[in-house]
């Protein structure tokens, strides 16, 4: 008799715009801090950063280009830059100035309590900042590993790294692109998932509208996660559908 052992599923969450956001955007003040305090240069006031879905390495690269600073030289001092940026975020991050989106607490708890699912991160944040934000709202414990904006500049390289770390965390090879889903709010989340042939769930709680996200054809899309039970049910159905397709192939 053939016995099929159920393989757990991996759910990789983005952070900003998906799980939480700052009450007041920090993007412009962050740019000013980086240019003035780290690079000791000024930046054109017309420069308005778009951080949606970008890795922190990409953001730093773009700022370097804007102020004509050699990014390759910057890479030599990355540890110092991350330390300085972490101090900036520590001064601007606490439970009072972060909004956790509706349904998130219940959705994460529901997923964690189901032994068939493992949570992880794929985020543009550098690692220490990712956990700083999550810790401020008591969510860090849900995510024991992830891939971060300090690992690679190209977000498309993060999912496979997150899968590797998931397997290392469990001590055996349990996850692949076939039993993984990415959840995010940006167009880059969709691009990143599709580039890696991973299923993707979009949520319109970030700066990108539901209508625009839909045109990029994610596998699932929600306006928000308020109805967390329905969200989890549809995610489970998506995994099971993908599993059946793999068996039929």
Tens of pLDDT, residue by residue over 82-127, are 999 999 999 999 999 999 999 999 999 999 999 999 999 999 999 9
Residue matched to tokens 């962050």: 30
Tens of pLDDT, residue by residue over 56-87, are 999 999 988 888 889 998 899 999 999 999 99
Q: Are residues 103 and 88 in the same domain?
A: no
The answer to whether position 224 is within a domain reads yes
Distance (Å, whole) CA 102 – CA 123 = 20
Q: Are residues 192 and 85 in the same domain?
A: no
The closest of 239, 146, 245 to 201, measured between CA atoms, is 239
pLDDT of residue 245: 58
Would you place residue 247 in the very low, low, confident or very high pLDDT band (cuts 50, 70, 90)?
very low
Q: Are residues 167 and 81 in the same domain?
A: no
Q: Residue 224: is its pLDDT beyond 80?
A: yes
3-state secondary structure at position 158: helix
Range of the domain at 50: 27-92
Q: Are residues 87 and 103 in the same domain?
A: no
Q: Are residues 136 and 212 in the same domain?
A: yes
Q: Residue 128: is its pLDDT beyond 50?
A: yes
Q: How many helices (H) and strands (E) does the chain have?
A: 10, 8
- Kindly state the average pLDDT of the residues 195-211: 98
In total, how many domains does the chain have? 2
Q: Please check whether residue 164 is in contact with residue 145, taking contact to mean a CB–CB distance below 8 angstroms.
A: no
- The whole model's pTM is what? 0.92
Q: Are residues 235 and 160 in the same domain?
A: yes
pLDDT of residue 240: 85
Distance (Å, whole) CA 175 – CA 182 = 13
Q: Are residues 102 and 153 in the same domain?
A: yes
Would you place residue 248 in the very low, low, confident or very high pLDDT band (cuts 50, 70, 90)?
very low
Tens of pLDDT, residue by residue over 137-191, are 999 999 999 999 999 999 999 999 999 999 999 999 999 999 999 999 999 999 9
Tens of pLDDT, residue by residue over 8-63, are 899 999 999 999 999 988 888 888 888 888 888 877 777 767 888 999 999 999 98
Q: Are residues 52 and 165 in the same domain?
A: no
- Kindly state the average pLDDT of the residues 209-217: 98
CATH number of the CATH domain containing 208: 3.40.50.1000
pLDDT of residue 113: 97
């Amino acid at each position: 008799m053939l016995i099929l052992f159920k393989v757990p599923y991996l759910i990789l969450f983005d952070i900003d715009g998906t799980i939480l956001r700052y009450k007041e955007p920090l993007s412009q003040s962050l740019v000013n801090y980086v240019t003035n305090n780290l690079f000791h240069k000024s930046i054109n006031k017309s420069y308005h950063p778009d951080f949606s879905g970008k890795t922190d390495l990409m953001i730093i690269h773009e700022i370097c280009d804007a102020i004509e600073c050699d990014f390759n030289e910057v890479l030599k001092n990355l540890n110092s830059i991350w330390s300085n940026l972490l101090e900036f975020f520590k001064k601007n991050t606490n439970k009072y100035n972060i909004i956790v989106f509706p349904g998130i607490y219940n959705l994460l708890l529901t997923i964690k309590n189901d032994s068939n699912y493992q949570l992880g991160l794929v985020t543009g944040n550098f690692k220490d900042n990712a956990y700083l934000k999550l810790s401020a709202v008591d969510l860090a414990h849900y995510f024991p590993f992830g891939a971060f904006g300090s690992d690679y500049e190209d977000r498309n390289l993060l999912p496979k790294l997150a899968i590797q770390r998931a397997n290392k965390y469990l001590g055996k090879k349990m996850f692949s692109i076939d039993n993984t889903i990415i959840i995010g709010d940006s167009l880059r989340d969709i691009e990143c998932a599709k580039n890696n042939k991973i299923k993707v769930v979009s949520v319109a709680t970030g700066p990108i509208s539901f209508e625009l996200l839909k045109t990029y054809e994610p596998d699932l899309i929600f306006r928000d996660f308020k109805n967390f039970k329905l969200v989890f049910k549809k995610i489970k159905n998506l995994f099971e559908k993908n599993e059946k397709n793999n068996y039929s192939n």
